[in-house]
Amino acid sequence: MSQTRFAIQTHSLTKRFRRLKAVDEVNANVPTGSIYGLMGPNGAGKTTFVRLLLNLINPTSGSATVLGHDVVKEPVKVRRRVGHVAALQPLWEWMTVRGFAAFMAGCYPQWRPDVVSTVLDRIGIDENATLGVLSRGQRAVVSIAVAVGHQPDLLILDEALTGLDPIARREILRNIIDAMQAEGRTVLITGQDIADMERICDHVGFLVKGRLVLESTLDHLKARVKRIHVEHAPEAAVDLPAGALQVERSPRETLFTVTDFSPALLDSLDGSGRRATAADLSLEDIFIDLAQSHTEAAR
Amino acid sequence: MRSVFAKEWRQGHMIAMFGLLLGGLVVALWGILTAVWVKNGDDQGAVNLFCGIVYLIVPLILATFVGSGLIAAEAERGTLPLLLGLPFTRRQVWLGKLLGGLALLLSAVVLVIIPGAIAARPALQEVTFWQFLPDLAIAALLLFCGALFFSSLSLSISNAFLGALGLGIALVIALIAFTFLAGARLTPYGPIIDIDLWTLASCPALLAGSYVGFTRGELFRGRRRWLLPIATALLVFALTSIPIIAAARWTTRYDRAKVEQLMQPLIIGGGHVATVYTQASQVRPLRAFEKRWIGDRTEYRSAYSVTLDLDTGKELLVLRETDAPVVSPDGALAAALPDIRPLTWRGGDDLGLPKRSVEVWDLKSKRLTYRGLPKAFLGGRPPNIQRADWPPYRGLPQAFLRGRPPNIQRADWSPDGRWLALLSQDGYDWQTGYSRWRLLIMKPDGSRPQVIEVEGGRYDQPVYAWAPDGSAVYSFSGNGDLVGFTLPDGETQAIWSWRDELSPDSHLALGHMAASPDGKWLAVVLVGDSPPQEGGPCDTFLVFVLSTDGKQSRMIWSDSGYVEVWQEMLPILWSEDSSAVYAARRARESQPRHNRVEVITWRRGDDAATIARTPPGTWSLHFASLPNGGLLARSGLDLRLLDRTGALSPLTTARLRETLSNSSVIGLDHRGRLILSEWDGLRVGLSAFDPTTGEHTHIYP
């Protein structure tokens, strides 16, 4: 199977529901083999973005390719190579776990029942149980196990880890996602569990009000996004650099966040009675700063 | 697609099993009711009908549930995104669901039917509702398709499943209403077959709409997805209904080459026009089952009323499901009374329900110029037309049997063609033979409505006479009083009363009445018996002649001989110059086969009337005016000339007798030709025989 540089690539992808732009001119590039965390506040458009990738809905404008296939022109090829789990995805409750897996096996020629059984065994889910009697978390595990049964080149977990207990979450992160990464497969995770994302993702994207406001590797992001603290005399004002976020001013100090930090910036702020220091931000801090600043800007 | 099909099957197989359960319950109910009701004296047929209806409704319910659940229930449970995320096109998913649903439906229907059929086997000969199974299968298909269509559309409704269910049922109700209320009748076979045909036209449209809605529409958000499926369904419906309508029209078309029977031919419109009932054989039945269902009922062959030009044989108007139209004297307009065919379990085709409207056709343009009834005609007392508990009518809505609509029996034109009279029978007393009628008189366009109460004659015939210029109607008001109604003002004028001249206690009823061509005289026949008895002969026969202003009156004939009038009242008529009156009656001889008709003739200026008798074996006599002013009296093959003296001279020649060997004379046309109805064992037709030249011309078909 041909490998492309990007597992997911969108170009000005837009989805409009009447007046609402759920996805707005998104240009996303998810490298093949990466674990990509797509973050954003509620209503940012993450689920709509995923549905566009699977062609569950049609884009209003723009284009998207998944694993080299145009999502509109070749949706079946896309879905054949993608495993998808949506948050709290209802299942056919009358089916047993084994029956559900069998049904999915009929849909994918390259099905590997042992993969599914292995995941279910590790979590301890009885394959003869009816889906309707399983807990919400157990059903999520079943969904994830079944989603990797055909060994997809791209696994999309759309807030799929929500509701999992820590043990199940760790099992999935360790055994499924790590394995996929080891095999050079791509994982796209959406959600708001920043701690998990920070631990496993190597690429992140921030979606705010339908717009992809930032996309980067996690390391690069952390290197670029810093919290700047400038101490200065009351009469010495600080000229904020372009793109400064979350600005807090007091008579003797100014705090703000920059998204393109460089030592030169620190040098330019330092001196003349001012003392500037840069502090690293956690992914969660970065997420909050970006989300709040863009939300305020939108107002 | 196979996976989706299998999933639908696994998911819905319990519905099919539920059908088995329901079917078993109904069969059990059947047995219980038979044991309880029939043992208590009720009719087994009623039990069969009740349980049969319940039993056959089960597949319809299952069809609706299956159709609604395929997509809407999936969306409602939230599993639709899971299904659409599979590596299938939406077309494959939709097809898998459709096939799975159809398989479920078929299984459910079979499971419902088979146990019932086995359980009811001994009674099958009596259980007529099994004949409706094909219709119910089609209905189930419609419900399934409709539910599936709305299942695709109703995803934005908070309760998609119930929405699809309700809209699917509403669709069926709308289709039935469309067939009945909008008069969207396609065939003469009955409304159920029409609904079947509309269903067959609708199902592809509904499936196409569902397909487009599912594959093209935005399934999760957006209201525009309603437009495309509905537009698609309407377009496909238009495309599929055109060939179905064309096929229905073609198979039930009137084909004069296939006319097998001519009934009740009538020469009207001044001898220019004839109306006949025809039965044209069907090209082919719409389905083989039809023959068994209808059996020897005549609906299987289409009955048409044909109005034709006697000179050319050309069809002027062909109507189906109407009484034979009555043509105006100038031959320009035809008034027809459409049949009413209500929906009943028994079909309702042969119930002879009261007419509720009249159609007026322009024979030249062949356009319907008026349909309906003026509001002024819709009042009045309820017509006591039929007993609602009489078996064919049992269970029919009362509105069909009684109420405001008049009970119109036939239409009649005024001699000048300016007025159209609809004869509405309001009541009839079988004991005394008296009947009440209303003349609903209007212009041919429905304007100037007038309602005139008319006393009926003995044996259920309205008795009235038009003034030759259409300016008045003469009738009896109900107490032996002859009155005149002037048109168009509707003024009533008392003219005469037979009670002034006879004993008020006389038990007399009206026979016939005729106005003289000059408009100055009326001739009235009164018949009676003492005491009055139902049916049977009369022992009194009186003929009066009186002036239309009531100033002169004279009894020109009176006898108390035994008069046979039971089967047919013979007419009274005037000569064309208004100088003579001819009254005919049937006289009974010692042997019925020796019965003859007597013609009483009175000429103005004579003191007494004369009487002439036909040879024995004559049961009826029909008169027709000849171009020379004479009158032709005919009875079957026997033609006689009624001269001014009242003598009946034989007219039938050897040539005519040869021509008439397979024919009967129905009258004279405007050229004095005898119009014959022929049947030679192979074919039927109308022909004309010119008595003066001996020319015999085929006219129709």
Angstrom distance (rounded) from CA A177 to CA A174: 6
pLDDT of residue B43: 66
- Are B7 and A103 within 8 A, CB to CB? yes
Interface contact B7, partner A, CB < 8 A: yes
Min distance A78 CA to chain B CA atoms (Å): 8
pLDDT of residue A42: 84
Query: Could you tell me the fold of the domain covering A6-216?
Result: Rossmann fold (3.40.50)
Q: Higher confidence at residue B268 or residue B192?
A: B268
For the segment A143-167, the average pLDDT, to the nearest whole number, is 85
Residues 6+ apart with CB under 8 A from B64: B143, B144, B147, B165, B168, B169
pLDDT of residue B397: 44
Q: Which residue of A has its CA nearest to B88?
A: A76
- Are A56 and B85 within 8 A, CB to CB? yes
Nearest to B82 among A89, A94, A99 (CB): A89
Q: Helix, strand, coil % (nearest 5) of chain B?
A: 35, 30, 35
- Are A90 and B78 within 8 A, CB to CB? yes
Interface test with chain B among A18, A47, A48, A57, by most B beta carbons within 10 Å:
A57
- Are B3 and A92 within 8 A, CB to CB? no
Q: How far is CA B482 from the centre of its chain?
A: 34
Nearest to A90 among B10, B79, B222 (CB): B79
Interface contact B17, partner A, CB < 8 A: no
Angstrom distance (rounded) from CA A164 to CA A152: 22
Chains A, B: CB contacts under 8 A, how many?
58
Position B19 confidence tier, pLDDT thresholds 50, 70, 90: confident
Residues of A with Cβ-Cβ distance to B222 under 8 angstroms: 17-18
Tokens 């304007």, residue located: B447
Residue B206 scores a pLDDT above 50: yes
Q: Which residue of A has its CA nearest to B76?
A: A90
Say which DSSP state B330 is in.
T
pLDDT of residue A221: 83
Closest CA to B624 of B228, B179, B271, B351: B271
Q: Which residues of A touch B (CB under 8 A)?
A: 17-18, 51, 54, 56-58, 75-77, 79-80, 84, 86, 89-95, 99, 103-104, 106-108
Position B187 confidence tier, pLDDT thresholds 50, 70, 90: low
Among A26-35, B71-80, B498-507, B547-556, which stretch is predicted with the lowest mean pLDDT?
B498-507
For the segment B55-70, the average pLDDT, to the nearest whole number, is 78
- Are A86 and B2 within 8 A, CB to CB? no
Interface contact B1, partner A, CB < 8 A: no
- Are A79 and B86 within 8 A, CB to CB? yes
Q: Which residue of B has its CA nearest to A108?
A: B87
Q: How far is CA B166 from the centre of its chain?
A: 35
Residue B385 scores a pLDDT above 50: no
Q: Which residue of A has its CA nearest to B78?
A: A90
For the segment B179-202, the average pLDDT, to the nearest whole number, is 68
Residues of B with Cβ-Cβ distance to A15 under 8 angstroms: none
Q: Higher confidence at residue A228 or residue B2?
A: A228
pLDDT of residue A9: 92
Residues of A with Cβ-Cβ distance to B3 under 8 angstroms: 103, 106-107
Residues of B with Cβ-Cβ distance to A80 under 8 angstroms: 87
Position A224 confidence tier, pLDDT thresholds 50, 70, 90: confident
Interface contact B2, partner A, CB < 8 A: yes
- Share above pLDDT 90 across residues of chain B, in percent, rounded to a whole number: 4
Min distance A122 CA to chain B CA atoms (Å): 24
Interface of B with A in 313-342 (CB under 8 A): none
Interface test with chain B among A18, A50, A56, A157, by most B beta carbons within 10 Å:
A56
For the segment B244-251, the average pLDDT, to the nearest whole number, is 75
Position B529 confidence tier, pLDDT thresholds 50, 70, 90: low
pLDDT of residue B250: 73
Q: Which residue of B has its CA nearest to A58?
A: B218
Sign of the torsion formed by the C-alpha atoms of B241, B242, B247 and B249: positive
Q: Which residue of B has its CA nearest to A57?
A: B218
For the segment A251-266, the average pLDDT, to the nearest whole number, is 83
For the segment B649-672, the average pLDDT, to the nearest whole number, is 72
Min distance A201 CA to chain B CA atoms (Å): 25
Interface contact B499, partner A, CB < 8 A: no
pLDDT of B536-556, one tens digit each?
A: 556 678 889 999 988 888 888
Q: Which residue of B has its CA nearest to A53?
A: B85
Position B340 confidence tier, pLDDT thresholds 50, 70, 90: low
Which amino acid appears at position B391 of this protein? P
Residues 6+ apart with CB under 8 A from A124: none
Question: Any idea where the domains of chain A sit in the sequence?
Answer: 6-216, 226-280
Residue B254 scores a pLDDT above 80: no
Residue B277 scores a pLDDT above 50: yes
Interface contact B82, partner A, CB < 8 A: yes
- Are B220 and A56 within 8 A, CB to CB? yes
Residues of B with Cβ-Cβ distance to A17 under 8 angstroms: 221-222
For the segment B303-319, the average pLDDT, to the nearest whole number, is 83
pLDDT of A179-212, one tens digit each?
A: 888 888 899 998 877 877 888 888 989 888 888 8
Q: What is the CA radius of gyration of chain A?
A: 22
Which amino acid appears at position A64 of this protein? A
What backbone torsions phi and psi does residue B45 show, to the nearest 5 degrees?
A: -60, -40
Position B492 confidence tier, pLDDT thresholds 50, 70, 90: confident
Position B433 confidence tier, pLDDT thresholds 50, 70, 90: low
What mean pLDDT, rounded, does chain B reach? Answer: 73
Among A171-185, A237-251, B630-644, which stretch is predicted with the lowest mean pLDDT?
B630-644
pLDDT of residue B152: 73
- Are B86 and A107 within 8 A, CB to CB? yes
Interface contact B86, partner A, CB < 8 A: yes
Residues 6+ apart with CB under 8 A from B420: B328, B335, B358, B360, B411, B412, B413, B414, B441, B442, B443, B444
Q: Which residue of B has its CA nearest to A152?
A: B87
Say which DSSP state B224 is in.
G
Q: Check if the beta carbon of residue A127 is closer than 8 Å to that of residue A118.
A: no
The half-sphere exposure of A297 on its side-chain side, counting CA atoms within 13 A, is 15
Residue B297 scores a pLDDT above 50: no
Reduce the secondary structure of B504-564 to three states and give it as a string. Answer: CCCCEEEEEEEECCCCCEEEEEEEECCCCCCCCCECEEEEEEEECCCCCEEEEEEECCCEE
Nearest to B85 among A79, A90, A93 (CB): A79
Q: Is the pTM of this model over 0.80?
A: no
Angstrom distance (rounded) from CA A149 to CA A160: 16
- Are B78 and A94 within 8 A, CB to CB? no
Angstrom distance (rounded) from CA A39 to CA A191: 6
pLDDT of residue B41: 62
Q: Which residue of B has its CA nearest to A50?
A: B85
pLDDT of residue B545: 92
Residues of A with Cβ-Cβ distance to B77 under 8 angstroms: 90, 92-93
- Are B77 and A90 within 8 A, CB to CB? yes
Angstrom distance (rounded) from CA A56 to CA B95: 18
Residue A141 scores a pLDDT above 80: yes
For the segment B108-116, the average pLDDT, to the nearest whole number, is 75
Position B405 confidence tier, pLDDT thresholds 50, 70, 90: low
Residues of B with Cβ-Cβ distance to A57 under 8 angstroms: 218-221
Angstrom distance (rounded) from CA B338 to CA B368: 13
For the segment B455-463, the average pLDDT, to the nearest whole number, is 70
Residue B400 scores a pLDDT above 70: no
Residues of B with Cβ-Cβ distance to A106 under 8 angstroms: 2-3, 6
Interface test with chain B among A15, A85, A103, by most B beta carbons within 10 Å:
A103
| Burial of residue A17 (number of CB atoms within 10 Å: 0-12, 13-18, 19+) | middle
pLDDT of residue B291: 41
Min distance B172 CA to chain A CA atoms (Å): 31
pLDDT of residue B282: 46
